[in-house]
Amino acid sequence: MADSETPTGPGKGARPGDGLDEALLVALFSQSAVGLVVLDPQLRLVRANSLVEGVGTGEYVGRPIAEAVRLDDPDGYEQLMKRVLAGEGPVRDHLVRGRLRRIPGDRQFLTSLYPLHGPGGPKAPALGLVVAVVDVTERERARAREAALAAVRDAVGGSLDVATTCRAFADALTPGFADLAVVEVVDDVLRGAEPPVGPMPSGTPLRRAASGRCDAVRNAAEGGSRGRGRAAGTTRHLPVRTPYALAAADLRPRLVHLGPDTPWLDTDPDGARAVAETGAHSLIVVPLSLRGAVLGLVSLYRCGASDPFDEDDLSVAVTAATRASLAIDNSRRYEREHVIASTVQRRLLPQAERQQAAVDTAHVLLPGRDSGCWFDTIALSGARTALVVGGVAGEGLQSAIAMGQLRTVTQALAGLDLEPEEVLARLKDTADRLAHERASLPPADGLHGEPLSAGCVYGVYDPFTRTCTVARAGHPAPLIVGPDGRAVPLDVPEGPGLFSADSALFAPAAVTLEEGSLLAFFTADLVSGDRAAERITRALARPGRSLQQRGDDIVYELPDDTRAAGAALLLARTGTVSDHLVATWDLADESTTPATARVLVRDRLQGWGLDEDTVDATELIVSELVTNAVRYGTPPLRLRLLLDSTLTCEVHDGSTAAPHLRHARTVDEGGRGLFIVSRLASHWGARHGPDGKVLWTEQELPDGPAASAAPAG
């Protein structure tokens, strides 16, 4: 430490009292607790005390102060000193960064600048400048460490996404604490799997989840000969006999000083190249671990002129890594539950497109946080098709389970040939029971106080009348796009949500569609945000696009936050049943009508090229259904056959009385009609309408039905 208490002496002609002034100056410069530097009006060094190390030596006296102290912003500080000399007043507690010529490392100084005035006072030109200097390097380093920990506490833990958590961690540590931060996570952990229990097995792949760099390091890397470190998302196996592998093996942090002769860099060519390009000279490697399990590694570097890491920095890095490990593990647990919920959702949804009579469909399911959305196409009797889209609000496995329960109930209700408003009314009854069961859970159960919320839209399309009847429960109304490309929402009253306390009735809406019209059913997430309906309408109205392409077009225009939430979209293009695949007869209400019906059916089925066994079975089915209508029904009577993937027989009469299956006793003379029908048909049932009821049956056809046969006769 240089001692420069001997000043350049005052000039001749000293006045009385100058001896006291001199004694004051000597005492001040020798005993002051702060560094003092005296500059002349040209900002040349006149005097400095020993606390300003290496500055007050004879080597720098009379020379510009910039030659003794290298500041990060020399021009800015020089302008500040000139303003003080010009009479703008003193400056107190101004923080500067720089390096002393004779002392290695960056330093931080708290400086105060005061002008020196002669006998003329403040109005006269200043004779020089005195700078009070306090080295606050350690204090500022301590503040930087505290700030780094505070940044980690504030930024890390706010997301349940592993990658987002890692990015927040890296950003919190750069550039204030480290010049370069790299966060690597065990590859399986990113997908929610259980982390390996330490020591980490050799060959475990780590994926770079995030990295942060200060501007100087970024510029150095981009300007290097290769300039391309490993990008986020790439994986690597830890090279053996390196600090990275050792930290992962024994779960202990490492503080390493890097240099050209660092031996382990020879075993890690990628690391050696990165060190050379960034100018890294100091490294901290800390394992990301929790309860003995290894989640990954964080590597922190200081480069260029930055101070090397020390033991205090290592302690800060360990504390920050502990916080990050907890947040990453929470994110991993959520990710695991999300993966399970998404898998359950996928398994509970249709696994393939179902071919429907007179309706072409396509769907898009966006995976995301919302694991409760579903869609369905359900084949109904009479070539009708039920179109369903719904959603249970919330995330996680419980939402997926509730969705599966509601979807199963919806399918069961659809099979009863109920009207859309009746389906939703009974579905809401089921939802109310599910909500009551959840409310009955013990208070300690996490689901006890968690409310359920769900919506559903249910529509039925009849190709013979080209009518679509829709009802909705707390769900967006579908859009209709006509053959002319004009899209309009279906005006259907909104009923209460499935789990709401509202007991209002569901009101249906029916619309007659032109052949080739397009129906779009979707979850609420697709219509959230600005101008969402306009985006959907524009995508649906584009000409020359297939159903699947139109669904994809809607997704392409979605905001990013919608894709993160997840959504479901179901598109249906309406059509009609080909005339030569349908046969319809009006029947007389007479005792001979069953025999007439048998003849008509045999003739038509033979014309369609069906095998004799199918013809015989259908003839018997029709005979029993028509007999039942003649005996117990009321006119008008009508018989219809429909050939598709199955053979459908329908007998209509004007009575609303529902038949039921009976098991006749041995001595009974009747009562076996519907029993015979149930044995011959794959499915049978009855549906009611405003003008009566329809008894229907479906028969499975042998391979290769003559579905394209020309009409008979």
Report the CATH number that the domain containing residue 249 is assigned in CATH: 3.30.450.40
Taking alpha carbons only, the member of 310, 314, 311, 276 closest to residue 298 is 314
Higher pLDDT, 212 or 55: 212
Q: Are residues 634 and 500 in the same domain?
A: no
Tens-place pLDDT, residues 361-400 = 888 887 766 677 888 999 998 889 999 999 888 777 788 8
Q: What pLDDT band is residue 661 in, cutting at 50, 70 and 90? A: low
pLDDT above 70 for 215: no
CA-to-CA separations, 428 to 233, 405, 472, in angstroms, rounded: 45, 12, 11
Rounded mean pLDDT of the chain? Answer: 82
Helix ranges, 501-611 (H): 532-540, 547-556, 560-565, 593-607
Residue ending a domain, among 529, 550, 574, is: 574
Average pLDDT of span 400-406: 87
Domain CATH number, residue 91: 3.30.450.20
Q: Is the pLDDT of residue 82 over 70?
A: yes
pLDDT band at 708 (very low <50, low <70, confident <90, very high): very low
**Is residue 459 pLDDT above 80, yes or no?**
yes
Which pLDDT belongs to residue 665?
Answer: 47
- Rounded to whole angstroms, what are the CA distances from 709 to 140, 382, 605, 698, 706? 90, 20, 10, 19, 5
Q: Cα dihedral sign for 187, 190, 194, 195? A: positive
pLDDT, tens only, 501-529: 888 899 999 999 998 899 999 888 777 66
Residue 5 lies in a domain: no
Which three-class secondary structure state does DSSP give residue 565?
helix
- Same domain for 631 and 545, yes or no, is no
Would you give the distance in Å from CA 444 to the centre of its chain? Answer: 30
Tell me: do 147 and 119 sit in the same domain: no
Six-digit token pair at 122? 């403040």
Instruction: Indicate the pLDDT class of residue 18, thresholds 50, 70 and 90.
Output: low
Which of these three, 81, 103, 135, is where a domain ends? Answer: 135
Distance CA 62, CA 37 (A): 12
Is residue 550 one of the residues assigned to a domain? yes
pLDDT higher than 60, residue 401: yes
533 and 401 housed in the same domain: yes
CATH number at residue 687: 3.30.565.10
Residue 683 lies in a domain: yes
Q: What is the pLDDT of residue 593?
A: 92
The tens digit of pLDDT for each residue in 680-689 reads 888 888 888 8
Residue 255 inside a domain? The answer is yes
pLDDT at 57: 60
User: Strands of 69-71's sheet, edge to edge?
Assistant: 45-48, 35-39, 128-135, 107-116, 91-100, 69-71
CB distance 339 to 332 below 8 Å: no
The model's confidence at residue 226, banded by pLDDT at 50, 70 and 90, is: very low
Q: Would the pLDDT of 232 be above 80?
A: no
* Domain that residue 229 falls in: 141-338
% of the chain with per-residue pLDDT over 90 = 29
In this structure, are residues 335 and 188 in contact, taking their beta carbons and an 8 Å threshold?
no
What's the confidence (pLDDT) of residue 705?
45
Average pLDDT of the segment spanning 15-25: 64
Same domain, 609 and 484: no
Whether pLDDT at 433 is above 80: yes
Query: Do 519 and 392 reside in the same domain of the chain?
Result: yes
Same domain, 561 and 481: yes
Distances (CA, A) of 439 to 402, 404, 426, 444, 496: 14, 19, 20, 12, 20
First to last CA, the chain: 119
When mean pLDDT is compared over 185-194, 345-354, 452-461, 562-571, the highest value belongs to 452-461
pLDDT tier for residue 2 given thresholds of 50, 70 and 90: very low
pLDDT greater at residue 336 or residue 663: 336
Per residue in 538-552, pLDDT (tens digit) is 888 787 788 888 888
Highest mean pLDDT among 220-229, 475-484, 557-566 belongs to 475-484
Q: Within this chain, do residues 464 and 541 fall inside the same structural domain, yes or no?
A: yes
Q: How many domains does the chain have?
A: 4
Confidence bin at 224 (pLDDT 50/70/90): very low
Q: What is the pLDDT of residue 253?
A: 95
**Domain-located, residue 348:** no
Whether residue 173 lies inside any domain: the answer is yes
Helix (H/G/I), strand (E/B), else coil: 167: helix
The CATH number given to whatever domain includes residue 360 is 3.60.40.10
Token digits of residue 361: 């469909």
Is there a domain that residue 262 lies in?
yes
Q: Beta-carbon neighbour count of residue 579 at 10 Å?
A: 9
How much is the pLDDT for 21?
65
CA angle 186/188/193 to nearest 5° reads 120
93-107, 148-162, 483-497: which has the minimum mean pLDDT?
Answer: 93-107
Same domain, 450 and 515: yes
**pLDDT score of 228:** 42
Neighbours of 258 (CB within 10 A): 22
**Are 553 and 584 within one domain?**
no
Specify the pLDDT at position 599.
93
- Residue 641 pLDDT exceeds 90: yes
Judge whether 303 lies within some domain.
yes
* Last residue in a domain, options 539, 574, 609: 574
- In Å, what is the CA distance from 91 to each residue of 85, 87, 95, 96, 114? 11, 11, 11, 13, 7
Question: Based on the domain organization, do 155 and 172 belong to the same domain?
Answer: yes
- Check residue 45 and give its pLDDT: 83
Say whether both 206 and 104 belong to one domain: no
Residue 684 φ/ψ region, left for φ over 0, alpha for ψ in the -120 to 50 degree band, beta for the rest: beta
CA angle 180, 181, 187 (to 5 degrees): 140
